[in-house]
C-alpha cells in the first residue's frame, strides 16, 4: 500500500503543521474557499485517473431537476418562487459502493492525518463517514454540455478533488454566505437575485490534482456546463460531523438513482 507521503504532496501541504493549518483556516474563512492546487503527487494522480476512467461505465448518468435547497417543492409557494424553482443538473456519478476497496481515494478519505487537518480547518470536533453505503466518496463525470445547477449542499462543507479538469467550462461559481442556516434562513430574495443573474458570483477554475474545501450549505454554488472533448472528473469527499447519519433519502434518489 502507498504511504500518505507518496499520495499527497506533504512537502507543499504539511497537513500536520499548526502554522500551515492556521493559514488554511484564514484562507477558508476569508475567501469562503480553500484551494490546494497540486495536492496529489503525480503518480497517485495518474493512478486515480486511470481508475476513474475505468469505472465510468458504472456511473449513473441522468438529467434531473431539483430546487436549490435539494428538497421537494413546497406547495405553499408558487412554482417560480425561489423555494420551488426547478434547476437542471446533468452528470454521472459512481457512488461509494462501486469504488474499488483498494482505491487511493479510500486511503485519502480514511487517513487520520487528513481528517485531523480538516477538523482543525473546519473547526469540527470529529468527522465521520455517511452511514449509507453510497454517499461518502463519489466520483462525478461531466461530459460536454453537462453541468450541476445552482444549489446549497446538505452538509456544512464540501471537499472536492479534481481528477481531470475539462478543456473549458466546468468551473465552480459561488455566492458566499447567501444564507445562514443557523438562523434557519432560506434567503429567498437573495436566491432569486442570484438565479436571475443579478449577483456576480465568485469563480474557481480547477486543475488536475487540486483539492478544494468550501462551505456549501451557506454558499450557493453551481458547476458551469463543460465544454470541449475532455470529461470533467471530480471526486467529492463527504463527511458528517455526527456519526451514523445517512444522506437524506431524497438526495440519494436524485443523485444515485437508488437508495442503497
Ligand atoms: O464538482 C464540484 O466542484 C462541486 C460539486 C458539488 O457542489 C456537489 O457535489 O455538491
Ligand atoms: Fe454542492
Q: How far is the CA of 223 from the centre of ligand 1 (A)?
A: 7
| Atom number, ligand 1, closest to the C-alpha of residue 138 | 9
| Atom number, ligand 1, closest to the C-alpha of residue 153 | 10
Give tens-digit pLDDT for 197-247: 999 999 999 999 999 999 998 899 999 999 999 999 999 999 998 999 999
Give tens-digit pLDDT for 108-125: 999 999 999 999 999 999
Domain ranges across the chain: 4-256
Mean pLDDT of 147-165: 93
Pocket test for ligand 1, best of 68, 87, 172 (most atoms within 8 A of CB): 172
pTM over 0.85: yes
The domain made up of 4-256 has a fold known as Jelly Rolls (2.60.120)
Give tens-digit pLDDT for 72-103: 899 999 999 999 999 999 999 999 999 999 99
The helix (run of H) or strand (run of E) holding residue 19 is helix 18-31
Residue 92 forms beta bridges with which residues?
61, 141
What is the full DSSP assignment across 26-84? HHHHHHSEEEETT-B-HHHHHHHHHHHHHHGGG-EEEEEEE-TTSS---TTS-TTSTTT
Residues with CB under 5 A from ligand 2 (ion): 153, 216
Amino acid at each position: 500500500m502507498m504511504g500518505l507521503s507518496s499520495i499527497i504532496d506533504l512537502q507543499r501541504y504539511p497537513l500536520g503543521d499548526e502554522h500551515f493549518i492556521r493559514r488554511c483556516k484564514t484562507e477558508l474563512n476569508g475567501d469562503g474557499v480553500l484551494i490546494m492546487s497540486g495536492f496529489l503527487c503525480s503518480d497517485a494522480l495518474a493512478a486515480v485517473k486511470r481508475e476513474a476512467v475505468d469505472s465510468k461505465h458504472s456511473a449513473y448518468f441522468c438529467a434531473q431537476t431539483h430546487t436549490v435547497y435539494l428538497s421537494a417543492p413546497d406547495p405553499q409557494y408558487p412554482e417560480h418562487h425561489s423555494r420551488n424553482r426547478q434547476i437542471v443538473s446533468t452528470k454521472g456519478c459512481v457512488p461509494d459502493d462501486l469504488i474499488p476497496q483498494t482505491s487511493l481515494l479510500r486511503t485519502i478519505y480514511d487517513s487520520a492525518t487528513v481528517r485531523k487537518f480538516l477538523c482543525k480547518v473546519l473547526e469540527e470536533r470529529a468527522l465521520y463517514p455517511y452511514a449509507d453505503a453510497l454517499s461518502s466518496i463519489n466520483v462525478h463525470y461531466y461530459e460536454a454540455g453537462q453541468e450541476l445547477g445552482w444549489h446549497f449542499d446538505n452538509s456544512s462543507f464540501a471537499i472536492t478533488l479534481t481528477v481531470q479538469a475539462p478543456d473549458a467550462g466546468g468551473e465552480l461559481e459561488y455566492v458566499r454566505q447567501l444564507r445562514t442556516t443557523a438562523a434557519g434562513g432560506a434567503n429567498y430574495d437573495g436566491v432569486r437575485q442570484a438565479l436571475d443573474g443579478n449577483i456576480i458570483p465568485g469563480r474557481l477554475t480547477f486543475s488536475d490534482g487540486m483539492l478544494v474545501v468550501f462551505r456549501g450549505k451557506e454558499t450557493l454554488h453551481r458547476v458551469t456546463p463543460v465544454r470541449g472533448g475532455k470529461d470533467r472528473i471530480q471526486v467529492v469527499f463527504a463527511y458528517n460531523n455526527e456519526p451514523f447519519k445517512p444522506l437524506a433519502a431524497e438526495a440519494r434518489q436524485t443523485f444515485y438513482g437508488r437508495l442503497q
